[in-house]
Structure formats: structure tokens, C-alpha cells
Amino acid sequence: MANKIAPLGGFPELLPAARVVEREVVASLSRTFELHGFANIETRVVEPLDRLAKGGEIDKEIYVLRRLQAGDGDSDSGLGLHFDLTVPFARYVLEHAGHLEFPFRRFQIQPAWRGERPQEGRYRQFTQADVDIVGVDVLPFHHDVEVMRVMVDALDALPIPPVSFQFNNRKLIQGFYRGLGLADVTAAIRTIDKLDKLPADRVAALLVSDAGATPEQAQRCLELATIRVSDTSFVEQVRKLGVEDDLLEEGLTELAAVVEGCAAGGHRHVTVEANLRIARGLDYYTGTVVEIFMEGYERLKSVGGGGRYDALASDGRTTYPGVGVSFGVSRSLIPLLADGVLSGSRAVPSAVLVAVVDEETRDASTAVADALRARGIPCEVAANAQKFGKQIRYAERRGIPFVWFPGSPGVAGEVKDIRSGEQVAADPATWTPPTEDLRPQVVTEEKKQ
Amino acid sequence: MANKIAPLGGFPELLPAARVVEREVVASLSRTFELHGFANIETRVVEPLDRLAKGGEIDKEIYVLRRLQAGDGDSDSGLGLHFDLTVPFARYVLEHAGHLEFPFRRFQIQPAWRGERPQEGRYRQFTQADVDIVGVDVLPFHHDVEVMRVMVDALDALPIPPVSFQFNNRKLIQGFYRGLGLADVTAAIRTIDKLDKLPADRVAALLVSDAGATPEQAQRCLELATIRVSDTSFVEQVRKLGVEDDLLEEGLTELAAVVEGCAAGGHRHVTVEANLRIARGLDYYTGTVVEIFMEGYERLKSVGGGGRYDALASDGRTTYPGVGVSFGVSRSLIPLLADGVLSGSRAVPSAVLVAVVDEETRDASTAVADALRARGIPCEVAANAQKFGKQIRYAERRGIPFVWFPGSPGVAGEVKDIRSGEQVAADPATWTPPTEDLRPQVVTEEKKQ
């Protein structure tokens, strides 16, 4: 059957078996976040435009709402769809502060919208998973270690390829530049940020021309930016560069604590690094910063990131500092599903298809199904009383592993494993499928081979 | 602390403890739907405007999207936010038909948007839970019984007040009117639909003036519409009205099967009725119709509804008949939460607060927390090494039932139930809280008393 409707670019939709994977990923993330005491919230999807549009690059990607038949003079509602989960969370904290206990740990897994050009890993509607801790006036540094460790644990539990957490610290960068005597620290950060697009000597030249650095200072900046280790040995490497500054020292101590805290505990497929060229742009970050990369999917750039912001939100009297990290659920999953790295084992929840002998005895089949459901076994009753061979093929097409043939009064029913062909007498009040057949599973590429 | 930000009318947001209730309701609905073999999908939130705006009453409530900085000549994207889950589901079926197995059973729990005037139970953003079964060309009637029974089971499992499923059948109504010799069946249905706003004699007069009925026919229509029973005795009551028609007979048989099928199985707090004035407007329904009401909340009107539609979707060659029913999650839960009928037992997932003796030994507290988490016990570590009394009050304010005091080398830790004050020596590798304390619970008004 030909598809009569073209898909809408940038708005990917999952078929039921792929949705099995997405739901399991969301459930797994939620389990980990809750084990660490993070409460779930959802925010409304709209915010007042003046909260969304701050004059930045993102503004032109904001979707604005208007009512279809609104009056001409008042065509916009003044509302737009949120483009991340940080802006609405900051507003939520301000709006509901009187009803929240601080430090407030929250996780939020929702879609966001950006009207950008669609490409692999970049969608106009995409789901993110955010964890943040927010305090009032002050938020002790140990929460940086805590929240990053939560995301490390959460991604380590997912059935995705290995991921790498690459940490840096804005105090370290700023302190180093300041201690080095750079006049324009901001310009230097902006220039160093270009290292993933330009060769090193070109960046060095820009540091001289745009950030007012001497060639020697530019060289030292590059040396700092190339330090990348998976332990705390960066502290000695930075010290060898001979720059002294209090803020630099504070940043070194914090970064070492984050790297040590996140590397502890023996993870399955998460690696942790200090990568001193990570800056995460010029925005609100004031300490810890992180970007997350997925092995084999470096072309997506980061699949997550975050950091510390000393003013997540403010109402003019009270400031709410925060630290958090976001994981791009759609950005990582949709390419993995498209590549067949992940898939769902079947498209339906049913572990059992209860066959129907004829329409007159459909009630008997429904009774078997009810008995199985009462014991937590998902099942469905065949749609038509076709020949059993056809009913078995109906189950096969859906990936349903078992077909139940109801008995008649005095005759026991039988259940067939349609993969092995094995068929045994069975009682719906006691029979149980193997645990791995009970619900659809996430199948990874290696498991398939 | 005063709220500095006013809430946005029609866009309710839940505090964390209320969100516990919403999540448990969504999880419980999902469990039931999956036990019956329904697969979950999510659709994108936008549809092309020509799919949404069909010239009906709803059109003026549709939210249209435009990009904030789009060119003047092309200000709209041609996309709007969906206002229910049926329109996007019908489009999903057409778009993905080649990849779906029919009959296709799906459930979908997502928000929808309508720019209507906000009031209790009516919101501009609201979450619905829909179950539907869709076939190709034909869909046997037994699926009507199946899908309605699924929603009966699903709502019976929820911690909400008693609900009533009120069924009717469009074949029954149309057949009766036709057999009665009414000229304008559609006008008669539209008029009878006003029975919940106008007195019976006024409706009778309208049947004469607007639907071309004789006073005797009008009287018979009213007699039909007042039949309301909780078993299949309506069949005899209708027959006594002396109207004969094949379609009427078919409708009677179908309605009796739905009422019997849904009443079977012994439900806790769902009642099932045949209510012959239920029509659900003039739209696409062609057989079974249902409206769901919640006891004590009749002012919300129905909290759900649905029915059979012989042409859910069509691509011009193939027609996809369907039958389904929708439950208004926001419409029912938000009033229940506001009234305190339902609440969450605590605002955080943590069952245990691990106290911190001093900042130097925070790692020891983190190790206790990790050991508890490894065994599935949600916990958090105290934010500050305050006096223990203050740390206990911190747990109290969050509703965390247990506080753990870490031991030191050679000294066992202790755990205190802060409700009873009982404190015992405990090992994080073996101690387990009572099951009911492990996660936040939904508290119902009666349980509180």
C-alpha cells in the first residue's frame, strides 16, 4: 500500500516497535533520576514571547502561536512554543517558588520546538531529558558533582553506544586567561571555541588579532585548550603552564572533583574526561561545563550538555543558582533507530494471541484472555475465526511469540510457542511465559547478530 | 515568598506532589491498555491546517504556528497544534498504513490544545488518553465491545471517584426515527441532543417545528430518549414503543452486546448503562456511542467519550473504519487535585535522606546513598551538614519518611523513621523500607480521613 501522505520534514514519528525503544529509554532515565531523589515535573509547552526571545540566535527559530480566527488587530497570542526545557524551568521556579523546597531537584522529559533546517539529529520537534538542582541565593559546589553523576549513571544504564562526558570549568578558563594577562577574556573564549572548525595556527592568529593576545599568550591559550585526560592529571599539566590565579585554582579544584566523582563507581560504557577546550559558548555558565558525545555518532556533535549557572532565574530580589545537564533523547535515538542499532522486539505488547475457534465461542477465547491478563500477561484475541494456520501467521506478523488454542468443556487448552513449534496443554490460571517474552524488548545490534 | 509571575489562564501546571498523581494515572492507564494488546504511539503535535480546519465549530480554537522572524509574505507555516488525538491518529494511519498490521490497536496519551475560554475542566492545554482499534475496509462489531471494555477496565483501576459509562447506538436512534417515519432524521437527532439544556415539552415543540415531526412522533422520540437502564431490559422497552425497522434491530442487538460485555467481570466502581438520549452530536459516529461521567463531578459534563466511525480515515481508495474511546486526563484530574480528592504522599521520590555529619565526610554519606540506590531505594544526601535536628526537619518538609545517620569506621549506621521516632542500627546493604514507603503514593480523600 503506497503512502498517500508525505512525512513532514523535521517532525519525525516512530512506528510502534521503535516507540517501544523510546518508551524504555524514557522509563530507564526516569528510574535513575528518581533513585537520586529528583522529582518529575512537566511545564506547559508555551511561554510568553518576552521570556523566549532575548535577541539571540535562537529567536528566529521560535514558533509563535495565533488563533486561527483571531481578530485582525490582535493576531498573535503573545505566546511561543518553548525551544528548550531551561527557560520554562526557570519560569516554573519563579512562579512556584513559594510552594517548592530548595535545593529543588527536578527532572523533566518533554518535547521542545525549533524552526530550524532539519538534518540528522536536528528536528523541529525533539524530546529532551533534563536534570537540574536549584538553590536559593547559594548552591554549594558539591551539587555540581551530584547532578553530573546522576546523568552519568542514567546514560550508563541505557542500551546506547558508549558515551563520553567531557568536562571543563569556566572559572578555570577565565582564571587562566586573567592570570595570563589577557585583556579581553570573553573574546578569547569565543575565539578558542572555534578550534573544532579552524586549524590551531589560524585560531592563534585570531587570538592575536581579535582578542588582543600576544603571540606568546596565544600559544599558552592553545596549550591549555589541548589538554584532555581521563583523570585529574590535568591539574599538574595546567600548573606547568606557569599561570597563577585564584579563580584558576578554584576551577582546577572543582574540575578535579567533578572528574573524580563521575569516574567513581565503575561504569559500563561511560567514560569521563577533562577536556579543557569545552566552553559551551558565552552564555550564562559560571563554573562546571560539560558536553556529551556518543561513540560512532561524533557527526551529531554533542548529544547532551550543561553546567553551572549562578543565576538560573531571578525575580529582582532573589536569585536562584542552578546546575544541570540535558540529554537529547530524539537527537541520539532517532539516528540509532534509523541505523538499526536499536529496535523493538515486536510492535505489540501482546505476549499471547488467543485463537478463536468460531465466532460462537469467541466468549471462551475472551475468558482465556481475561484469565491471563488478571495475572499480568498482555494478550489479544484473534480478530477473525480463520483457520488456525492463518491465525498463527497473524501472530507471526506481529511478533507475538505464543498462540493459545482454547479448550472446550472438559478439554484442556493448549499453547504453542510459534518460534519452536512446541505445543503443550496449559491452564490460563497457571501458565506463564518466560520473562523475556512477557513484554517487547529493546534489541541492540550486537544482540541481533 | 510572593509569586512574581502570574499563571497563564488555561495552561495549568502541577506541583511535584500533584504530578506524582498524574504520572501514576498515566502509568495505570498504560498498564491496562497494554494488557489488552494495545500498542503505544505518539504523534507530532502539529498537523497541516487543511487537516485540522474543516469548517466546524472547533476551527476558531485552533492555534496556528508561525516563525517569529519569518518573512512578511510567508508568515504562517501552514501548521497548527492538534486539538484532539483523533485527527492526528487518522493521519498517522494513512501515512504509515504500509508499515502497520491491521486491525491496529493503539493507545495514545498526549496533550492537545484548544484556544477556548478556560474554565474548570476546560483547559487550553490538556492531556487525553485515547484507545482505538482500526481495520481496513471492514472492522467486525466485536471490536466495539472489546475497546469499550478496555476503557472500563482502565478507569476501574484508577484511584478516581466512581464513573458511569452511558452507551447508546446511532443505528438504534436512526432506525427508530426512520421506522417512525420522521422526514428529517438528522434534525431530530440535533433537537433531541438539546434535552440536557431544555425541558422535555420545549424539545417536543422543537421536534415539531424544526424536524417536521407530528406531535405523536415527537412524543415517541421523547419516550425513546428517556429510556435509561443498567442492563439489557431497554430492548423490551424499545420494542414496546411499537416501531419496526431493520437498522433499529441491529442497533438494539449491538447495544445489548456492548452493555453486557462491559458490565461483565465485576468492576469496583464503574457502572454501565444504556442511556438512549446519548447521541454525541452529528459527527462521524455510525454505531456505538458512549459518554463517561464521574460521580460528584457531573458539572464537568462528560470526562470521556467515543464510539464507532465507519470512516475514521480514507485515502480515496481504502477506508479505515475504527472504534475508540477517549478519557480526559486533565479534565478529570485537575479538578480532583484542586479539591484535594487526590494528592501525592510526598513531593520527592526519596524514601531516605542520608544525613551528613560534616562536609569532610560527605563521601561516606554518598556511599550509603549509592548502596541503597543499588538496591532500588530512592534517596538523597542532605544538602548541608547542619545539626541533625535541622536535617530531620529538612526531611519532614519534603515528606521523606526515613533519615539515615552514617556510621564511622567500626560503628554501624542508624536509620530513623521520623514519623514514629524509632531509630535502629542498619546496614545499607540489607535494610529495606516498607513497600508503601518506597515511592510516593496517590492519597485519596477517604484514605486521608
- The tens digit of pLDDT for each residue in B110-124 reads 999 999 999 999 999
Chain A residue with Cα closest to B350: A37
Burial of residue B422 (number of CB atoms within 10 Å: 0-12, 13-18, 19+): exposed
- Judged by CB atoms closer than 8 Å, whether chains meet at B15 and A384 is answered as no
- Judged by CB atoms closer than 8 Å, whether chains meet at B11 and A46 is answered as yes
Chain B residue with Cα closest to A67: B63
Asked if A373 and A424 count as a contact pair (C-beta separation under 8 A), the reply is no
Give a yes or no: residue B247 inside a domain: no
How big, in percent rounded to 5, are the helix, strand and coil portions of chain A? 40, 25, 35
Q: How far is it, in rounded angstroms, from Cα B23 to Cα B420?
A: 29
Chain A residue with Cα closest to B88: A13
pLDDT of amino acid A17: 97
Query: Which amino acid is residue A25, in one-letter code?
Result: V
Please compute the mean of the pLDDT values over residues B180-196 and round it to a whole number.
Answer: 88
Which residues of A are less than 8 Å from B315 in CB distance? 4-5
Give a yes or no: residue B435 inside a domain: yes
The pair phi, psi for residue A248, each rounded to 5°, is: -60, -45
**Partner-chain residue, chosen from B62, B105, B380, that has the shortest CB–CB distance to A380:** B105
- Judged by CB atoms closer than 8 Å, whether chains meet at A91 and B5 is answered as yes
- Judged by CB atoms closer than 8 Å, whether chains meet at B67 and A66 is answered as no
Domain that holds residue B406: 352-448
* Cβ-proximal residues to B68 (8 Å cutoff; 6+ apart), any chain: A49, A53, A59, A60, A61, A62, A63, A64, A80
Q: pLDDT of B78-122, one tens digit each? A: 999 999 999 999 999 999 999 999 999 999 999 999 999 999 999
Chain A residue with Cα closest to B115: A67
Domain end among A343, A375, A401:
A343
**Partner-chain residue, chosen from B39, B97, B397, that has the shortest CB–CB distance to A1:** B97
A17 Cα to chain B: minimum distance (Å): 9
Cell of A402: 505464543
- CA dist A122 → A8, A11, A85, A289, A340 (Å): 14, 10, 16, 22, 18
Substitution target from B26, B31, B47, B67 for chain A, most A beta carbons within 10 A: B67
- Judged by CB atoms closer than 8 Å, whether chains meet at A44 and B439 is answered as no
pLDDT of amino acid B6: 86
Domain end among A343, A362, A378:
A343
- Judged by CB atoms closer than 8 Å, whether chains meet at B349 and A37 is answered as yes
Residue A412's domain is classified under what CATH number?
3.40.50.800
pLDDT of amino acid B5: 85
- Judged by CB atoms closer than 8 Å, whether chains meet at A95 and B380 is answered as no
pLDDT of amino acid A3: 43
In this model, does residue B186 exceed pLDDT 90? Answer: no
Domain end among A317, A343, A369:
A343
- Judged by CB atoms closer than 8 Å, whether chains meet at B348 and A39 is answered as yes
Supply the pTM of this predicted model: 0.96
Question: What 3-state class would DSSP assign to A173?
Answer: helix
Same domain, A337 and A405: no
Give a yes or no: residue A294 inside a domain: yes
Same domain, A392 and A335: no
Same domain, A333 and A356: no
Question: What 3-state class would DSSP assign to A289?
Answer: strand
**Partner-chain residue, chosen from A111, A380, A397, that has the shortest CB–CB distance to B37:** A380
pLDDT in tens, chain A (449 residues): 344 688 999 999 999 999 999 999 999 999 999 999 999 999 999 999 999 998 888 899 999 998 876 654 455 679 999 999 999 999 999 999 999 999 999 999 999 999 989 999 999 999 999 999 999 999 999 999 999 999 999 999 999 999 999 999 999 999 999 999 998 888 898 898 888 889 999 999 999 999 899 999 999 999 999 999 999 999 999 999 999 999 999 999 999 999 999 998 789 999 999 999 998 876 689 999 999 999 999 999 999 999 999 988 898 899 999 999 999 999 999 999 999 999 999 999 999 999 999 999 999 999 999 999 999 999 999 999 999 999 999 999 999 999 999 988 778 899 999 999 999 999 999 999 999 999 999 999 875 55
Domain count, chain B: 1
Question: What 3-state class would DSSP assign to B309?
Answer: strand
Q: How far is it, in rounded angstroms, from Cα B102 to Cα B92?
A: 13
Smallest CA-to-CA distance from A312 within A323, A303, A325 is with A323
Give a yes or no: residue A264 inside a domain: yes
pLDDT band for position B2 (50/70/90)?
Answer: very low
Give a yes or no: residue A11 inside a domain: no
How big, in percent rounded to 5, are the helix, strand and coil portions of chain B? 40, 25, 35
**Partner-chain residue, chosen from A44, A142, A379, that has the shortest CB–CB distance to B37:** A379
- Judged by CB atoms closer than 8 Å, whether chains meet at A35 and B373 is answered as yes
B213 Cα to chain A: minimum distance (Å): 37
Give a yes or no: residue B141 inside a domain: no
- Judged by CB atoms closer than 8 Å, whether chains meet at B377 and A35 is answered as yes
- Judged by CB atoms closer than 8 Å, whether chains meet at B125 and A44 is answered as yes
**Partner-chain residue, chosen from A3, A41, A98, that has the shortest CB–CB distance to B98:** A3
B100 Cα to chain A: minimum distance (Å): 8
- Judged by CB atoms closer than 8 Å, whether chains meet at A67 and B48 is answered as no
Same domain, A328 and A359: no
Which residues of B are less than 8 Å from A364 in CB distance? none
B289 Cα to chain A: minimum distance (Å): 21
pLDDT of amino acid A282: 61
- Judged by CB atoms closer than 8 Å, whether chains meet at B91 and A370 is answered as no
Same domain, A326 and A395: no
**Partner-chain residue, chosen from A92, A101, A111, that has the shortest CB–CB distance to B13:** A92
In this model, does residue B411 exceed pLDDT 90? Answer: no
Burial of residue B16 (number of CB atoms within 10 Å: 0-12, 13-18, 19+): buried
Same domain, A164 and A56: yes
Cell of B59: 476551527
Q: How far is it, in rounded angstroms, from Cα B271 to Cα B287?
A: 21
- Judged by CB atoms closer than 8 Å, whether chains meet at B4 and A315 is answered as yes
pLDDT of amino acid B287: 96
Same domain, A359 and A306: no
Smallest CA-to-CA distance from B14 within B129, B114, B163, B127 is with B127
- Judged by CB atoms closer than 8 Å, whether chains meet at B19 and A39 is answered as yes
User: Could you please report the per-residue DSSP string of B366-380?
Assistant: HHHHHHHHHTT--EE
Which residues of A are less than 8 Å from B125 in CB distance? 44-46
Same domain, A126 and A189: yes
Smallest CA-to-CA distance from A193 within A256, A285, A272 is with A285
Q: pLDDT of B354-387, one tens digit each? A: 999 999 999 999 999 999 999 999 999 999 999 9
B380 Cα to chain A: minimum distance (Å): 5
Which residues of A are less than 8 Å from B267 in CB distance? none
**Partner-chain residue, chosen from B16, B66, B68, that has the shortest CB–CB distance to A53:** B68
Q: How far is it, in rounded angstroms, from Cα B222 to Cα A427?
A: 50
Substitution target from A28, A64, A136, A350 for chain B, most B beta carbons within 10 A: A64
CB pairs under 8 A between A and B: 234
- Judged by CB atoms closer than 8 Å, whether chains meet at A373 and B39 is answered as no
Neighbours of B207 (CB within 10 A): 26
Smallest CA-to-CA distance from B5 within A427, A91, A162 is with A91
A135 Cα to chain B: minimum distance (Å): 10
A352 Cα to chain B: minimum distance (Å): 9
Specify the residue for cell string 470521556. B304
Same domain, A359 and A269: no
- Judged by CB atoms closer than 8 Å, whether chains meet at A140 and B383 is answered as yes
Q: What is the ipTM of this complex?
A: 0.95
pLDDT band for position B70 (50/70/90)?
Answer: low
A111 half-sphere exposure, CB direction, 13 A CA radius:
22
Chain B residue with Cα closest to A261: B363
**Partner-chain residue, chosen from B45, B101, B380, that has the shortest CB–CB distance to A347:** B101
**Partner-chain residue, chosen from A60, A92, A315, that has the shortest CB–CB distance to B67:** A60
Which residues of A are less than 8 Å from B373 in CB distance? 35-36
Which residues of B are less than 8 Å from A98 in CB distance? 1-3
In this model, does residue B448 exceed pLDDT 80? Answer: no
pLDDT of amino acid A71: 56
Which residues of A are less than 8 Å from B391 in CB distance? none
Same domain, A339 and A357: no
Same domain, A329 and A364: no
B61 Cα to chain A: minimum distance (Å): 6
Give a yes or no: residue A422 inside a domain: yes
Give a yes or no: residue A2 inside a domain: no
Residue A145's domain is classified under what CATH number?
3.30.930.10
- Judged by CB atoms closer than 8 Å, whether chains meet at B63 and A63 is answered as no
Same domain, A315 and A379: no
- CA dist A404 → A418, A427, B103 (Å): 10, 10, 19
